[in-house]
Structure 1
Amino acid sequence: MIRRAICTFVVLAAITPHVLADDDSNRRWWRDDGREAHWARPCEVKQESKHGEFKREVKCKDGIGATWHGKWKDEFWDGPCHVKLEADYETFKEEVKCEGRD
């Protein structure tokens, strides 16, 4: 369990600076509804948020610029939020659903 949490943290720590370098809107995703697509060269980033839900998909053509390695899936709870992570050679997907967030 601790090993999974550490691995997940390492992966997210590696991805987040490159993908969200100056994206301040990520800090308030649970309050706002919206869609956003942008490029964090050389990758395309799509984000969608609804009240209590957040989805992010990062696509790096031919794996160029991807900071994650291999193909894997992970699911865990982070407080009241259920987090699903999925990655393959070109795509990283993150889905967060929270219960009781205001």
Structure 2
Amino acid sequence: MFFLVAAIAGIPQGALADHRWDDDGGRVERYRDGPCRVKEITDRGYYRKVVRCPDGRGKTWRRGEWHRDYREGRCRVRIDASREVFSKERICRGRGDYDH
């Protein structure tokens, strides 16, 4: 009986996530993490995650407004953060791309 209740209780949590694929193979996921809304976009060589927390409740990043740009191998990473929004974008070049 316990397992039946646990299985039914887990169904609404899985139904809250929204997973969509676009025409060129990209993926968009929307879900909640506590009071925050999360949107993840994944495509070939591109990844972006945006976390929005109303009034900063539930946020896990450090205080204040800040941004950071850095490289990870062939990828460029940019992080922007404020009181309510955290955005991380990662763009990776393919093997045929060159710096100009």
TM over 0.5: yes
Q: Distance in 2 between matches of 1:70 and 1:80?
A: 29
Q: Any idea what SS the aligned residue of 1:92 has?
A: strand
RMSD: 1.2
Partner AA of 2:54 in structure 1: K
Partner AA of 1:56 in structure 2: K
Measured against aligned partners, the alpha-carbon deviations of 1:13-68 in whole angstroms (never above 9, x if no partner) come to: xxxxxxxxxxxxxxxxxxx6210100011110001111000011000000000111
Relative contact order, higher structure (CA 8 A, sep 6+): 1
Equivalent residue number for residue 46 of structure 1: 39
Overall identity of the aligned pairs, in %: 36
Instruction: Determine which structure has more spread, i.e. the larger CA radius of gyration.
Output: 2
- The runs of 5 or more residues in structure 1 that have no matched partner are 1-31
Instruction: Provide the TM-score with structure 2 as the length reference.
Output: 0.67
- The runs of 5 or more residues in structure 2 that have no matched partner are 1-24, 96-100
